[in-house]
Amino acid sequence: MPKLTDTQLMLLSKATQQDGIVLIPANLKGAAAEKVVKPLLERGLVQEVPSTPDTPAWRRDEAEGQSYALVITREGRAAINAEDEGEQPEPPKLVPTRPRRTAKPAARKSTKRDAKGTGPRPGSKLAKVIAMLSAKTGATVDSLVRATDWLPHTTRAALTGLRKRGYRIEKETRASGQTAYRIMGSGRSAPARKDRKGA
C-alpha cells in the first residue's frame, strides 16, 4: 500500500478530533484538493456523505444538486493507528446512492459525555497513555509514540482528547530540553477548564 503524504496524514488525524469529519484546509482547493482526497477515497480511508450544516461540503455534484462531505472510515483510523483511541464515534454506515457510495448523516454523539462517563477500556493503548502520564516523571510524546505505536499526530490528538475528558495535563521542560506531559492530581476532575494561573 502506497505511503500517505503528510497532508493526507494531517487530514485523517484531525478528523479523529472532529467527530470523524474530514475538513479540507482553505488553502487546498480544486485540483489540489482532489489530488489529496481521491487516493483516500479509492483506498476506503474516507467516504463521502451528503453534507449538512455540521458536515461542510468538500465538493458539489451539480447534476444531482447534491453537496458531499467527507468522513474518516474504520480503515482510515487503522491507517493512522487511531482505532484504540475511543475518542470519536464510528462514521455512519454506507448506503447505496448515486453516483458514489454515500451515507445518511448519523446523529452526532457528543464527546462531552466522556467527561462524566467511564474511563478507557482496560488494556487499551489509551489506558497505557494515562498510566504513563500519571507517573511522577510524566512522559514525552516520543515515549508515548514508542509505547503505543501511534503517529505523533495521533498521540497529540489523544492528549487533547484526555483534556476534553477532564484530565488536567500539564507540560514541563526537562533538564535535557525535552517536553514532558503529566496528569496532575488524582487524574479526572470536572470537564476540562483552563488553568486560572494566568498568562
Instruction: Please tell me the CATH code under which domain 1-109 is placed.
Output: 1.10.10
What are the residue boundaries of the structural domains of the chain, listed by start?
A: 1-109, 111-188
Fold match between domain 1-109 and domain 111-188: yes
Residues in contact with 149: Cβ distance below 8 Å, sequence separation at least 6, in sequence order: 81, 125
Tally: H helices and E strands in the chain: 6, 7
pLDDT in tens, 9-37: 888 888 888 778 888 888 888 888 889 88
CATH of domain 111-188: 1.10.10.10
Q: Write the pLDDT tens digit of every residue in 31-77.
A: 888 898 898 999 889 898 888 877 788 888 888 888 888 988 988 88
